[in-house]
Structure formats: structure tokens, C-alpha cells
């Protein structure tokens, strides 16, 4: 299912394909704790300090990640 608004992730759980697409858009977003079927998408600041992270299966994972992407995402150049 494709997201139709201007947020990179759906408001709830997200797929690996969606996570990889977001990680490709931002230089401070990574996939961590990869356990195959589930993983965390992580946002860090310029000093590599944790800003936010969420497991891909969490109920509101995309909603919170989208909020932090808007305020702390560093786009790729």
C-alpha cells in the first residue's frame, strides 16, 4: 500500500521496502537491530545521538517517525 500524502511512512507499521526508501532519502536514518522479519528504523542527530527509533511492527511507528523526520531529518544531497 502506497502512502498518498507528503509523509514518507504510513502512520502505523511499515515494510522493509518503505524503510529502505526513507533511509535512502535521509543521511541520518538507518535500519538497526535487523532480525529479518522485524527491525528498527532509527533517527540520529549530526553527532550520532539517538533522536527516535521504532520497531517496524509498532502500532504508531510511522506516525512518530514522520514527526521526527519533519523536525530532525537531514536530507541526502
Q: What CATH number did the domain enclosing 35 receive?
A: 3.30.160.130
Is the CB of residue 55 less than 8 Å from the CB of residue 62?
no
Question: Each residue of 56-70: pLDDT tens digit?
Answer: 999 999 999 999 999
Residue 5 has pLDDT above 80, yes or no: no
Task: Give the domain range for residue 64.
Answer: 16-72
Residue 2 has pLDDT above 50, yes or no: no
Residue 3 has pLDDT above 50, yes or no: no
> Is residue 46 a part of any domain in this protein?
yes
Closest CA to 15 of 49, 75, 52, 61: 61
Number of domains composing the chain: 1
DSSP H helical ranges for 1-77: 16-25, 61-72
pLDDT of residue 7: 76
> Is residue 51 a part of any domain in this protein?
yes
Amino acid at each position: 500500500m502506497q502512502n498518498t500524502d507528503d509523509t514518507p511512512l504510513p502512520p502505523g507499521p511499515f515494510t522493509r521496502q518503505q524503510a529502505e526508501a526513507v533511509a535512502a532519502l535521509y543521511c541520518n536514518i538507518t535500519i538497526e537491530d535487523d532480525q529479518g522479519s522485524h527491525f528498527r528504523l532509527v533517527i540520529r542527530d549530526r553527532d550520532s545521538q539517538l533522536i527516535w527509533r521504532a520497531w517496524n511492527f509498532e502500532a504508531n511507528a510511522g506516525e512518530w517517525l514522520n514527526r521526527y523526520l519533519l523536525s530532525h531529518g537531514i536530507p541526502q544531497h
